[in-house]
Amino acid sequence: MDMLEQTYWGNNLRQWVTAAGITIVTYIVLNVVQRIASRRLKTLAQKTSNDIDDLFADLLSRTRFYFLLVVSLYIGALALTTSETTHAILRTITSLGVVIQAGVWGNGLIHYLLARAGRQRPGEEPPNPATIKALSFIARLILWTVVVLLALDHLGFNITALITGLGIGGIAVALALQNILGDLFASLSILLDKPFVIGDYITVDAVQGTVEHIGLKTTRVRSISGEQIIVSNTDLMRSRIRNYKRMVERRVVFSIGVTYGTSYERLRKIPSIVKQIIESEGDARFDRSHFQAYGEWALLFETVYFVKFPDYPRYMDVQERINLEVYKRFIEEGIRFAFPTRTLDIQDNRAGGRTI
At 208 the pLDDT is: 85
Q: What are phi and psi of 60, to 5 degrees?
A: -65, -35
CB-based contacts of 156-165 (< 8 A; 24+ apart in sequence)? 156/92
Q: What are phi and psi of 16, to 5 degrees?
A: -65, -40
Evaluate whether the domain defined by 193-246 bears CATH number 2.30.30.60. yes
What is the Cα–Cα distance from 243 to 46, expressed in whole angstroms? 37
Low-confidence ranges of the chain (pLDDT < 50): 1
If residue 211 lies in a helix (H) or strand (E), which one and from where to where? strand 207-214
Beta bridge partners of 293: 300
The maximal CA–CA distance of the chain, rounded, in angstroms, is 158
At 1 the pLDDT is: 45
User: Does the pTM of the predicted model rise above 0.85?
Assistant: no
Angle between helix axes 84-117 and 129-154 (nearest 10 degrees) is: 170
Buried b (16+ CB within 10 A) or exposed e, 229-267: bebbbbbbbeeeeebebebeebebeeebbbeeebeeeee
Q: How many residues in the chain?
A: 356
HSE-CB at 309 with a 13 A cutoff on CA atoms is 10
HSE-CB at 335 with a 13 A cutoff on CA atoms is 23
Within 10 angstroms of residue 339's Cβ, the number of other Cβ atoms is 9
CATH code, 250-333 = 3.30.70.100
Q: What is the dihedral of CA 140, 146, 151, 152, to 10 degrees?
A: 120
- Report CA-CA distances (Å) from 112 to 128, 152, 187, 247, 248: 17, 28, 20, 31, 32
Contact 233, 218 (CB under 8 A): yes
Q: What are phi and psi of 159, to 5 degrees?
A: -90, 0
At 331 the pLDDT is: 94
Contact 114, 136 (CB under 8 A): yes
pLDDT 10s digits, 203-253: 888 888 888 888 777 888 998 888 898 888 888 888 888 888 788 888 899
If 0-12 CB within 10 Å is exposed, 13-18 middle and 19+ buried, where does residue 2 land? exposed
